[in-house]
Amino acid sequence: MMKESEKFSDSSLLEGMTSLRAALRGIDRGVNSRQVLRVIYAAERKKKLARDLAFLASVRDKYGFSIIESRLSEIDERTLGSSHGGIIAECSDRIFDRLADSIDRISPSGFYVMLEGIEDPYNFGYALRSLYAAGVDGIILGDRNWMTAAGVVARASAGASELFPVYIASPAEAAELFHGLGYRIVCADIRTEHLLEETEIPYPVLLVVGGERRGISRAVLDLADLKVRISYGREFRASLSAASAATVLSYEIFRQNRKRNL
């Protein structure tokens, strides 16, 4: 059996129709450079997959992929868990643009998030799922990130990872570039006295969320315009998971700005 760490390194395999459909939508929207090469389905699930296979047959010429029949045991060997539903897609790697070369694509009044130091691909994917639902316009990542584990991240994010515009920059570089566009840099920091629910955070904003162990780098904290913390309902000395923190922070920022636009 393949070890999980080895499966994480397979950046070209998307599991299940949710991830595959998201990749195709991302390609259509021009935010995803990935190419779907082959779709592989389990012969044992052919009847159950009839509607999905009919859809894929109708679009395979548009996207240029082939459809191959295989055995469920062979698909299980290549995937994590069994949520693939009997269908996987072999894809090309996704190429991400540098933020410095793409600054003209950034909305002048948007909401972007930089995720820094998240050490688990599932947590990373869960964070992306919440951020996409909260209306975030794009994601900024460092050179080393979990987007290389595309199958795991796409599944954990319910396909959101394939739909986001993603740009690469060092944390300090991202803060400086967004400052140049008139953005406010907001960092989650448990040491500040500014409570999230009591602080006005209008767009445009770059929110920076760090991982549980390493947090946000000092270089970015020093460039922050505002540091906020999430209130707890009782005394609790631990940090929230990055996914939970990203969810709470992004939805509060979304709530404030939606209310302003009503």
Report the CATH number that the domain containing residue 80 is assigned in CATH.
Answer: 3.30.1330.30
Looking at the structure, tell me whether residues 227 and 251 fall in a common domain. yes
Q: Of 68, 91, 114, which marks where a domain is finished?
A: 91
Q: What is the pLDDT of residue 3?
A: 45
Domain limits for position 163: 97-261
Closest CA to 199 of 239, 226, 165: 226
Beta-bridge partners for 36: 91
Q: Looking at residue 187, which CATH number applies to its domain? A: 3.40.1280.10
Domain total in the chain: 2
Looking at the structure, tell me whether residues 34 and 137 fall in a common domain. no
Mean local confidence (pLDDT), 65-79: 94
* Length of the chain in terms of residues written: 262
Looking at the structure, tell me whether residues 158 and 224 fall in a common domain. yes
Q: What is the pLDDT of residues 195-234, one digit of tens each?
A: 999 999 999 999 999 876 677 888 888 899 999 999 999 9
- Residue 256, judged by CB atoms within 10 A of its CB (0-12, 13-18, 19+), counts as middle
Percentage with pLDDT > 90 across the chain: 72
Q: What is the pLDDT of residue 156?
A: 92
Looking at the structure, tell me whether residues 122 and 179 fall in a common domain. yes
What letter does residue 239 receive in the DSSP assignment? P
Q: With 70 as the cut, is the pLDDT of residue 261 above it?
A: no
Closest CA to 138 of 175, 172, 99: 99
Looking at the structure, tell me whether residues 161 and 42 fall in a common domain. no
Q: Regarding predicted confidence, which is higher, 189 or 173?
A: 173
Looking at the structure, tell me whether residues 119 and 19 fall in a common domain. no
Looking at the structure, tell me whether residues 152 and 234 fall in a common domain. yes
pLDDT band at 5 (very low <50, low <70, confident <90, very high): very low
Looking at the structure, tell me whether residues 85 and 120 fall in a common domain. no
Longest dimension (CA), the chain: 58
Beta-bridge partners for 91: 36
User: Which residues, other chains included, contact 147 with Cβ-Cβ below 8 Å and sequence gap of 6+?
Assistant: 11, 94, 96, 141, 153, 161, 166
Q: Return the SS3 of 129.
A: helix
Q: What is the pLDDT of residues 108-146, one digit of tens each?
A: 999 999 998 887 889 999 999 999 999 999 999 998 888
Q: What is the pTM of this model?
A: 0.90
Looking at the structure, tell me whether residues 195 and 256 fall in a common domain. yes
